């Protein structure tokens, strides 16, 4: 967003008549006075008035400030007003006609306030303040403000309004700005369940992105396919990420989950095994993968997943139940009983509590 100085200067150069041009620049008898008002004609108090000679900004008396009636008697600065440049003549042998200077409100002040309101989460107020600035902005600036307004709708969860606002702003933005807004526009479509539009919008950003940005967008594209139930295309999108960065943990997690849900547990496990042990994985992925292995009686692989889940989250009761089942199948009865007791300790009302009690009656007969 373009910016302008917050202390805005209205500068008047004195064209002094018959004044010596040496150290006595300001030693003449001329007098000048004036008044500073806003666009409604009301006086502005506290505006800084600085006078200097033409082409000599360093030459001049100390600045003064306007009084309550807006009058000054000897550049004018006031936060929130636009710079205005001008000049007038001072007759050394008479008092100049009083000047009335009108300062216009600085539209960028409204933008600054609007941005502050966004930071405070006051989105409706921010929109009102940002719209105040629109009439004084050029087309590019209007588009930038439109994008900010779109962000306020997005933050409120009003994705339909955000989408419309982003689309209206798009044509006035620079190519770099368009890329950023397209990403947010894609997110807006995704939130509305418009997966095809989200995907097309994301794909349009790919040529402008670096490797890291491409990976994040391809993940989003993969998720749009997954939401539509097209897991083959989702997997293909994730594989493009792994071509760029084979160690991308998010991609490894997602492709493992997609393959596992296709019933390709062995292939999914190969991707999970590439994720470092110290990297925390989503518990549901590990748990579901372990359950599938258990149902196929691939006990060692099931055990690996349940062990990792419990290392990451020692309070996840379901993991103890399923690990107990694996121990039971391996005839490691003491370990199985310990896990069933742990389940009942953590979640006595668990859906598996009844089964765990029956197993314990078998393992620990009275």
What CATH number is attached to the domain comprising 127? 1.25.40.10
Asked whether residue 46 falls in the same domain as residue 61, the answer is yes
For residues 36 and 101, the answer to whether their CB atoms sit within 8 Å is yes
Asked whether residue 119 falls in the same domain as residue 143, the answer is yes
Per-residue DSSP letter, 24: T
State the residue range of the domain holding 251.
209-279
Residue 263 falls in which region: left (phi positive, over 0), alpha (psi -120 to 50) or beta: left
Give domain status of residue 203, yes or no: no
Asked whether residue 70 falls in the same domain as residue 51, the answer is yes
Q: What are the two backbone dihedrals, phi and then psi, of residue 338, each rounded to the nearest 5 degrees?
A: -60, -40
Asked whether residue 295 falls in the same domain as residue 256, the answer is no
CB neighbour list of residue 277: distance below 8 Å, 6 or more residues apart: 308
Classified as helix, coil or strand, 86 is strand
The count of domains in the chain is 4
Please report which helix (H) or strand (E) contains residue 87, including its range: strand 84-90
Give domain status of residue 131, yes or no: yes
Give domain status of residue 360, yes or no: yes
Asked whether residue 111 falls in the same domain as residue 92, the answer is no
Contacts made by residues 318-325, CB under 8 angstroms, sequence distance 24+: 318/287, 318/343, 318/350, 318/352, 319/283, 319/287, 319/290, 320/346, 321/350, 321/352, 321/355, 321/356, 322/287, 322/290, 322/291, 322/294, 324/356, 324/359, 325/294
Give domain status of residue 83, yes or no: yes
Give domain status of residue 354, yes or no: yes
Q: What are the two backbone dihedrals, phi and then psi, of residue 7, each rounded to the nearest 5 degrees?
A: -95, 105
CATH code (residue 63): 2.60.40
Looking at 229, 257, 279, which one is the last position of a domain? 279
Give domain status of residue 97, yes or no: yes
Query: Is-above-0.75 flag for pTM?
Result: no
Asked whether residue 98 falls in the same domain as residue 128, the answer is no
Asked whether residue 176 falls in the same domain as residue 266, the answer is no
Q: What is the pLDDT along the chain (366 residues), one digit of tens a residue?
A: 333 333 333 333 333 333 333 334 444 444 556 666 677 777 777 776 666 655 666 655 666 555 565 544 444 445 555 555 555 545 545 555 655 656 566 667 888 899 999 999 999 999 999 998 898 889 999 999 999 999 999 999 999 999 999 999 999 999 999 999 999 999 999 999 999 999 999 999 999 999 999 999 999 999 999 999 999 999 999 999 999 999 999 999 899 889 988 888 889 889 988 988 777 777 888 898 899 889 989 999 999 989 999 998 999 999 999 999 999 999 999 999 999 999 999 999 999 999 999 999 999 887
What the block records as the tokens of 206 is 């790919």
């Amino acid at each position: 967003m373009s910016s302008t100085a917050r202390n805005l200067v209205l500068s008047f150069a004195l064209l002094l008549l018959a004044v010596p041009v040496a150290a006595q620049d300001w030693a003449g008898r001329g007098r000048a006075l004036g008044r500073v008002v806003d666009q409604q004609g009301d006086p502005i108090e506290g505006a800084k008035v600085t006078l200097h000679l033409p082409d000599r900004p360093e030459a001049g008396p100390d600045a003064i400030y306007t009084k309550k009636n807006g009058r000054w008697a000897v550049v004018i600065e006031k936060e929130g007003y636009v710079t205005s440049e001008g000049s007038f003549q001072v007759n050394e042998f008479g008092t100049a006609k009083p000047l009335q200077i009108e300062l216009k409100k600085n539209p960028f002040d409204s933008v600054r306030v609007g941005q502050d309101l966004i930071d405070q989460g006051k989105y409706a107020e921010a929109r009102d303040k940002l719209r105040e600035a629109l009439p004084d902005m050029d087309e590019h600036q209007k588009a930038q403000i439109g994008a900010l307004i779109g962000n306020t709708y997005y933050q409120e969860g009003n994705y339909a309004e955000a989408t419309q606002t982003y689309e209206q702003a798009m044509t006035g933005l620079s190519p770099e700005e368009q890329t950023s807004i397209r990403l947010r526009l894609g997110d807006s479509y995704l939130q509305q369940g418009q997966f095809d539009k989200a995907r097309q919008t994301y794909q349009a950003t790919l040529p402008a992105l670096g490797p890291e940005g491409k990976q994040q967008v391809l993940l989003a594209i993969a998720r749009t396919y997954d939401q539509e139930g097209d897991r083959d295309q989702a997997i293909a999108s994730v594989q493009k990420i792994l071509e760029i960065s084979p160690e991308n943990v998010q991609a490894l997690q997602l492709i493992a989950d997609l393959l596992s849900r296709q019933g390709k547990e062995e292939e999914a496990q190969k991707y999970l095994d590439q994720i470092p042990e110290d990297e925390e994985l989503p518990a549901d992925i590990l748990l579901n993968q372990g359950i599938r292995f258990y149902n196929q009686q691939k006990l060692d692989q099931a055990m690996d997943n349940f062990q990792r889940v419990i290392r990451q989250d020692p309070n996840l009761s379901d993991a103890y139940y399923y690990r107990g089942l694996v121990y039971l199948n391996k005839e490691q009865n003491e370990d199985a009983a310990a896990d069933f007791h742990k389940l009942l300790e953590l979640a006595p009302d668990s859906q598996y509590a009844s089964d765990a009690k029956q197993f314990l009656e078998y393992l620990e007969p009275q």
